[in-house]
Structure 1
Amino acid sequence: MREITLSNGKTVEVECLSCAITSGLLEPDGGVVIETEYFHAHQDVAYPIKGLIILASKRHIKCFDELSEAEKFDYINILTKIRKAQREILGIEYVYYFYNEDTTHHFHTWMVPRYEWMYEFGRSVESVRPTLLHARNEMNDEENLKEVMAAINALTKELNK
């Protein structure tokens, strides 16, 4: 078991944070954006950027090549559906996609929107980490969090019609 501090300041003891979230043991702030048989999407509000989504596999695997054929099909379909909603509902023009295999969590993809204010940190993939840290450290005010929660609600409503 590991002790993990969540974005809301609560501490939990779990073996795997992703397993706890995708199984419903823990509910992320803002709730589940969309869920399929194989995947679970939510926003990590520790990084309060409107439309930032984490798409996590429900099965405890680490690598893309471990996905079954059904999971691969579901993954690309749900990823596409989320991206379409980001564009149509939130007006997000560009998104960076990240997934890494050396994580302590299991297979998940970050969908990080690209907003104009982010260009002060650069235009390449190298700018994403400073952008995320800026959001976490400088954008956790009440007004921005309300906007983030409204975006979560709008995406949830659109994706679960």
Structure 2
Amino acid sequence: MKKITLSNGETVEVKCLSCALTNGLVKPEGGVVIETEHFHAHQDVAYPIRGLIILASKRHIKCLDDLTQSERLDYIDVLARIRKAQRTALGIEHVYYFYNEDTTHHFHTWMVPRYEWMYNFGRSVESVRPVLLHARNEMNTKENVEEVKEAIDILTKELNK
């Protein structure tokens, strides 16, 4: 078991945070954006960037090629649905997608929107880590977190029509 401090300061003890989130044992701040048979999506409020979504598999796997055919179809469908909602409901024009296989969690994809202010950190993939750290350290204001939660509500409504 690992002790993990969530973005709201609450501490949880879990084997795997992603498993705990996708199984409903730990509630993501702001709630679930969309849930399908194989996937669960939520905003990572530890990085308060409007529209930043994490899409995680419910099954504990590490690699894209571990997905079953049914999971692969569900994955691309829900990923595309989230992206469309980011564009149409939140006006997000560009997104960086990340997934890595050396994580301590299981298979998940980060959908990181690109906003104009982020270009101060560069225009390449190398700028994303400084952007995330800036958001965590400098944007955790009450006003910004409320904007992020409002975006969560907008996406949730759009994706669950």
TM-score normalised according to structure 1 size: 1.00
SS of residue in 1 equivalent to 2:32? coil
> Offset at 1:144?
0.4
> Offset at 1:118?
0.1
Separation in structure 1 between the aligned mates of residue 129 and residue 56 of structure 2, nearest angstrom: 20
> Offset at 1:153?
0.2
> Offset at 1:73?
0.1
Gaps of 5+ in 2: none
SS of residue in 2 equivalent to 1:49? coil
Separation in structure 1 between the aligned mates of residue 17 and residue 142 of structure 2, nearest angstrom: 26
CA deviations over 1:112-154 (Å, ceiling 9, x no partner) = 0000000000000000000000000000001101100000000
For 2:152, the equivalent position in structure 1 comes to 152
Give the length in aligned residue pairs: 161
SS of residue in 2 equivalent to 1:101? coil
Are 2:159 and 1:126 aligned?
no
CA deviations over 1:91-116 (Å, ceiling 9, x no partner) = 00000000000000000000000000
For 2:11, the equivalent position in structure 1 comes to 11
Separation in structure 2 between the aligned mates of residue 10 and residue 142 of structure 1, nearest angstrom: 17
Output aligned runs, 1:20-39, within 5 Å. 20-39=20-39
For 2:52, the equivalent position in structure 1 comes to 52
Separation in structure 1 between the aligned mates of residue 102 and residue 45 of structure 2, nearest angstrom: 22
Separation in structure 2 between the aligned mates of residue 15 and residue 64 of structure 1, nearest angstrom: 21
> Offset at 1:30?
0.3
Separation in structure 2 between the aligned mates of residue 141 and residue 158 of structure 1, nearest angstrom: 26
Gaps of 5+ in 1: none
Structure 1 runs of 4+ off > 3 angstroms? none
> Offset at 1:60?
0.1
Q: How large is the Cα RMSD of the aligned pairs? A: 0.3
Separation in structure 1 between the aligned mates of residue 140 and residue 35 of structure 2, nearest angstrom: 26
For 1:42, the equivalent position in structure 2 comes to 42
Separation in structure 2 between the aligned mates of residue 144 and residue 12 of structure 1, nearest angstrom: 25
CA deviations over 1:10-65 (Å, ceiling 9, x no partner) = 11100000000000001000000000000000011010000000000000000000
Separation in structure 1 between the aligned mates of residue 147 and residue 7 of structure 2, nearest angstrom: 16
SS of residue in 1 equivalent to 2:4? strand
Separation in structure 2 between the aligned mates of residue 112 and residue 137 of structure 1, nearest angstrom: 17
For 1:70, the equivalent position in structure 2 comes to 70
What percentage of aligned pairs have identical amino acids?
A: 78
TM-score normalised according to structure 2 size: 1.00
